[in-house]
Chain A
Amino acid sequence: MLLLGVWEIGTMKDATHPDGFWIDPFFYGRPSSIANQLWTWAQNGTAQGPLWLQVATTLEEAALGFLIGVGLGVVFGVALGRVRLLADVFAPYIKALNAMPRIVLGSIFILTIGYNIWSKVALAVVLVFFVVFFNAFQGVREVDRVLIANARILGAKERQLSTDVIFPSALSWILASLHTSFGFALVGAVVGEYLGAYQGIGLMISTAQGTFNPSGVFAAMFILAVVALSAEVALTWLENRLIKWRPNTVTADARI
């Protein structure tokens, strides 16, 4: 709040300070004009079309990238964690791919897949995959040996070991990674749009940048922050639903 106030006052202009008191609004925008910008977008739509369509496009890309990336990450992570041979064969490749700055793949996807949403989905998938993969892999490796022994004694076949012991046990690791990975999905979608798109928040940012409109950039960032926060709330809710067996400090029993 204070920061917003300082920012607002700092960018005020008068006759003696044509570039603002301390901060030049030409480069840094100002809270009131950002709010104004948001209002205009909401009322009249953006240069590329209605605001909701931009948000929906970005969300769709992020969500698709997230789901596909999580799915692939979990499957590969569990498989490689379970099967030593697979891990030995694939580990060097995965490490090499992980070491690469993956954002540059964005340009390649735009060139090969085109300006449609799938190039953004692909970038999001790549970013999400590695986070989830490493967590799932580690989660499988950390499964309590005694629980596996107990399941085998109780009559579990290999498949049942995976579904009944290893997956649930790795689930808390996987869920923990989802918070970070939705952020990555959003980054993937926005960067992809920034590099080239017909719709989306990333495109709004690049347009605003192209027309020297800092308020537009900040306003788009504000929208992104709201989207990310809502996703975070939803994921926390999901996490609490899925692992209600865990001793939890914040749920019902604390409130008795």
Chain B
Amino acid sequence: MPTPAIELRHVTKRFLTPSGTAYTALRDLDLAVGDGEFCAVVGPTGCGKSTTLALISGLELPSEGEVLVGGAPVQRVGRDVGYVFQVDAVFPWKSVLDNVATGPRFRGINRREAEERARDWIKRVGLAGFERYYPHQLSGGMRKRAALAQTLINEPRFLLMDEPFSALDVQTRTLMENELLQLWSATRASVVFVTHDLEEAIALADRVVVITAGPGTVKGVYRVDLPRPRNVAEIRFQPEFSRIYQEIWNDLRDEVLVSYERSKRVVS
């Protein structure tokens, strides 16, 4: 087997809680993403999905175990990593153009070339004409597009996405999912895509990983053998899709229930 693009080996991550005790977010998590593979990660809320991405990106380091990206252990934020955050992370004081050009500028490319490339990416994500707008003047969907362009302009070999479309309405979402697949097929980056929408996971990914309710560990891994190129809007109606959906849902449901019961207990 060739070396995976991204690999987590027996990873445990503990956080210090405000009360001073240690909270285990991930426990003994194993995950491998092949080169050019689109891997979706699903799991109930609070199970450690965002934490997993933070570990791969190098923003956080594991308490135990190893994280390897491109075969090398992660020690700091990697150059080849792109990360679309769960919450808005575009810079509010920069226009769309400046936001998208930020990556190349940080990487030492001169302003003219950076802006030229930024314009190209702005067009590709469908924001042409909004170059001079500030984030607060855009809709939520447009801000996500800007964030996508800001990340993709660096041409990351490893692309991490944290529920990028969860705040969008269904139509916009389907549209952007298709666009993402198109952009990805041109780059062939290795993708880890976090979502708690199982349909989205199956429609986009080659493989779906189910994480258990916190502390998170891998509950199951499923291949999605649906042909590409895919049309996200139509793929849901294929019999194979519902079969995979049933299979994964059986696993996921238990975890979601566990997580739900816990949250009820906290409330009452």
Contacts and interface: CB of A to CB of B under 8 A. Distances in A.
Interface centre among A147, A149, A150, A244 (most CB of B within 10 A): A150
Contacts of B107: 155
Interface in B90-125: 90-95, 102-103, 106-107
A245 B89 contact: no
Contact of A157 (B93, B106, B154): B106
Interface string A159-193: 01000110011010000000000000000000000
Best-buried of A146, A154, A246 by chain B (most CB within 10 Å): A154
B128 interface: no
B87 A245 contact: no
A152 interface: yes
A153 B136 contact: no
A11 B85 CA distance: 69
B85 A154 contact: no
Contacts of B79: 155
A167 B88 CA distance: 19
Contact of A154 (B92, B95, B102, B134): B102
B241 to A, nearest CB: 33
B150 interface: yes
Interface residues of A, number: 22
Interface in B183-237: none
Contacts of A169: 93
Task: Give chain A's interface secondary structure class.
Answer: helix
Chain B contact residues: helix, strand, loop or mixed: loop
Nearest to A167: B93
Nearest to B94: A245
A209 B69 CA distance: 77
A151 interface: yes
Nearest to B81: A153
What bracket does the count of chain B residues touching chain A fall in?
20 to 34
B12 interface: no
A147 B103 contact: no
A164 B102 contact: yes
A244 B82 CA distance: 29
A59 to B, nearest CB: 31
B89 A155 contact: no
Interface in A225-250: 243-247
Given A153-B77, A160-B106, A247 B136 contact: yes
Nearest to B60: A149
Nearest to A171: B93
A127 to B, nearest CB: 29
B89 A168 contact: no
21 contacts: A146-B87, A146-B88, A149-B83, A150-B83, A150-B85, A153-B77, A153-B81, A153-B151, A154-B154, A155-B79, A160-B106, A164-B102, A164-B106, A168-B91, A169-B93, A243-B93, A245-B92, A245-B95, A245-B136, A246-B92, A247-B136
Given A154-B150, A169-B93, 18 more contacts: A146-B89, A150-B89, A150-B91, A152-B77, A153-B57, A153-B77, A154-B103, A154-B106, A154-B151, A156-B106, A164-B102, A165-B91, A168-B93, A171-B93, A244-B134, A245-B92, A245-B134, A245-B136
